[in-house]
A and B are shown apart, each in its own frame.
Chain A
Amino acid sequence: MELVSCEMENIITKIFHTLFQQITNGVTLIFAIGTLIACFFILLKRRHHGSFYLHFWLLLLFMIIWRMIVGIISNRYALLLVVPAVMLTAFTGLRGESCWQLLRRKYTFLPRWFAKFISRAVLLGTSAGALLMAHHALTGNQDVYAETFNTIDEYKTRLPGLVLMTDSDEFARTKYYTNAPTVRFKSAAPKHILQQLRSPALRNKNVLIILRSAEAADLAIKPKDLPSGKKLQLCKNIMPKGRRKGVKLFLYSSVTPSQALKKAKK
């Protein structure tokens, strides 16, 4: 019995997680709230809506259930729900306007202009909010990447034959924008990084390591462990500007002492 209730709890958690976290993130919070209010309005006056709304509702329900069954890995899987969500948010604005008009019939002292104001406020408010969110999301990590690629370019001119080392997530982008030979590591654990630095392909090369995770910032590799007396040092940690939460990148260089000296003289 306990096992069944635990399973049930697990299923309910998954449903809530998909519905209120993944789908809400996908359609964005403003439109998710608008959709919920619209659902409330439609349930209140369900007989007024033509039977064509039934198809619309079934379409929406099917899309949500489909996503719950197959699971959502990224926000993109909720993309198709964006249009119905925006449509329902627009419906909320219009319904708010008619609700105000109904109220005005009873309480005549209420201003008439406010009815149109409600729908326009919903339109402008959500549009402006969405645009600000888009700006925040799109500019989020741009300064971090700009600084990283500029730093890599500087190192490339200083150290000829530089090899970049990064994880699978950043591999393609780093290689594309820097145009430098790039290798990927399977894990950011010092043991694995060291193993790769000792490999014949990288043993005699100057390597710049790009790490994403904050845990890996203190790369605990002792100098004696490095091949041919190389020196490993943290060159730069690049954080998002202001109070933004975003990608943090840590650049480590593993260079031969002679070249480290050249760098110091510069």
Chain B
Amino acid sequence: MVSFIRIARNAYSALKSRPLPGAAALLLLTGCVHLWAFSWCPYVSRDSVRYLTGAIRWAEQGSYDLFHFPPLPCFLMKLLLQMGFSPEAAGNIYSFLPGLFVPLASYVFALKASGNRRLARYTSVMLIGHPLLLAFSVEPLRESLFILLALLIMICGITGLKEQKLLPWFYCSVFTALAWCCRFEALEFVILAFFILLLNFLQKRTPFRKAAVHFTVYLVCTILLWGVFTVATGGVKCFNYQFENYVLNKWNLFLVRWKI
């Protein structure tokens, strides 16, 4: 316990003064807490079992049958299984690695969004023990990877807005496509990018032409890369299901919920 407090204190003071050792210390602290959390739950949740068994079947039979879920999480677990890891180890590595980088990404996001280094430091330290993020980091679910990709999307989006360059929007589309292969909710970011760029244009921060080019590049690259990633991961069957299962289901849910 004493050594844990010492690590935490060193990590915090390193983060305060120097960025690179600070980042390393933050990763170390996150890693310690998340590894400790692995001992709390030897049995994974029922949804995790679904992904694990899906990946095992994919590795054994060579075809993806969980096509109502986007293929990326199972594909990554399948790759780890093929590398010789046991199912539990593959699931743990798959969820632990993205979870490890979430506080660091949140530090960069908070710094970019607020410009306040102290606020960013506090945010990243507070996120280490967040119950939901910790749970996703120790269980083989798709959320750990999704939240990391979402943070990267937001970081690139903010950079693109601030610097008004095309390249960050391209990176943004890469992460959105990957996030889309992880959870269908990534669709939210496309709509969000449209509104943010529209707002920037209305506030006369970005000229119309630039905003339109940035959004078009973002949208086209996202759709193309999503197709490429889905085909590359072998989850082509998801194409039909994605529209049917997510968009139409959400639309029906919306109609029922609001009685339209």
User: Measuring CB to CB, which residues of chain A are less than 8 angstroms from any residue of chain B?
Assistant: 7, 10-11, 14, 26-28, 31, 51-52, 54-56, 58-59, 62-63, 66, 69-71, 75-77, 79-80, 82-83, 86-87, 89-91, 93-94, 119, 122-123, 126-128, 130-131, 133-135, 137-139, 142, 145-146, 149, 169-170, 172-173, 176-177
B53 interface residue, CB < 8 Å from A?
A: yes
**Chain B residues whose CB sits within 8 angstroms of the CB of A28 once the complex forms:** 130-132
* Chain B, 123-148, CB within 8 A of any chain A CB: 123, 125-136, 138, 143, 146-147
A54 to chain B: closest CB distance in Å?
Answer: 8
Q: Which residues of B contact A75 (CB under 8 A)?
A: 132
Whether B126 lies near A70 (C-beta < 8 A) is no
The complex places the Cα of A89 from the Cα of B110 at a distance, in Å, of: 12
Select which of A63, A122, A135 is within 8 A of B188 by beta carbon: A63
* B106: interface (CB < 8 Å): yes
Q: Assuming the A-B contacts A11-B258, A55-B161, are A142 and B43 also in contact, with contact meaning beta carbons closer than 8 angstroms in the complex?
A: yes
Other A-B pairs beyond A79-B132, A87-B123, A176-B53, 14, CB < 8 Å: A55-B161, A58-B195, A62-B195, A69-B254, A79-B136, A82-B133, A82-B147, A83-B106, A83-B109, A86-B106, A86-B130, A89-B126, A90-B126, A146-B43
Residue of B nearest to A76 (CB): B143
Report if B203 contacts A (CB, 8 A).
Answer: yes
A-B residue pairs, 7 tightest by C-beta: A90-B122, A131-B129, A134-B131, A138-B40, A134-B134, A145-B43, A172-B49
Is the beta-carbon distance between A70 and B40 smaller than 8 angstroms?
no
- Find chain B residues with CB under 8 A from A91 CB: 114, 119
Our pick among A63, A69, A127, A142 for the contact of B129 (Cβ within 8 Å) is: A127
Q: Give the CA-CA distance A80 to B40 in the complex, in Å.
A: 25
CB-defined A-B contacts under 8 Å, sample of 28:
A14-B257, A27-B132, A28-B130, A28-B131, A28-B132, A55-B196, A56-B114, A59-B154, A59-B192, A79-B132, A79-B146, A83-B147, A86-B127, A89-B126, A90-B110, A119-B122, A128-B129, A130-B126, A130-B131, A131-B33, A134-B37, A137-B131, A138-B37, A138-B135, A138-B138, A142-B40, A170-B46, A173-B45
Interface status of B151 (Cβ within 8 A of chain A): yes
B151 nearest CB across to chain A (Å): 7
Q: Give chain B residues whose Cβ lies under 8 Å from the Cβ of A70.
A: 250, 253-254
* Nearest CB on B from A165, distance (A): 16
> How far does the alpha carbon of A60 sit from the alpha carbon of B150 in the complex, in Å?
14
Complex Cα spacing A79 to B151, Å = 11
A138 touches B254 (CB 8 A): no
A169 to B49, CA, bound (A): 11
Say how far A13's CB is from chain B's closest CB, in angstroms. 12
The answer to whether B126 touches A80 (Cβ under 8 A) is no
Determine if B49 and A176 form an interchain contact, defined as CB atoms under 8 angstroms apart: yes
Chain B residues, Cβ within 8 Å of A94: 116, 118-119, 122
- A173's partner among B49, B119, B143 (CB-CB below 8 A) is B49
Q: Say yes or no: A82 contacts B46, CB within 8 Å.
A: no
Within 8 A of A (CB), among B155-193: 161, 185, 188, 191-192
Tell me the nearest residue of chain A to B250, going by C-beta.
A70
Alpha-carbon gap, A52 to B200, bound state (A):
10
Name the distance in Å between B247's Cβ and chain A's nearest Cβ.
10
| Contact between A55 and B151, CB atoms less than 8 A apart | no
Q: Kindly provide the distance from the CB of B55 to the nearest chain A CB, expressed in whole angstroms.
A: 12
Interface residues of B in 232-260 (CB under 8 A from A): 250, 253-254, 257-259
Q: Flag if A56 contacts B113 (CB, 8 Å).
A: yes
- Residue from the list A14, A123, A170 in contact with B125, Cβ < 8 A: A123
A68 to chain B, nearest CB (A): 9
Roughly how many angstroms separate A14 CA and B33 CA in the complex, as a whole number?
37
B84 lies within 8 A of chain A by Cβ: no
Which of chain A's residues have a CB closer than 8 A to the CB of B2? none
Output the residue of B129, B134, B196, B250 with the most chain A CB within 10 A: B129
Check A172 against B53 for contact (C-beta < 8 Å). yes
User: A70-B250, A138-B138, A142-B42 are known contacts. Are A127 and B128 too (CB-CB below 8 A)?
Assistant: yes
B36, chain A: closest CB distance, angstroms: 9
Q: How far apart sit A90 and B257, CA to CA, in the bound complex (Å)?
A: 35
Given A59-B196, A69-B254, check contact A127 B114 (CB 8 Å): no
Q: Which of B41, B43, B46, B113 has the most CB of A within 10 A?
A: B43
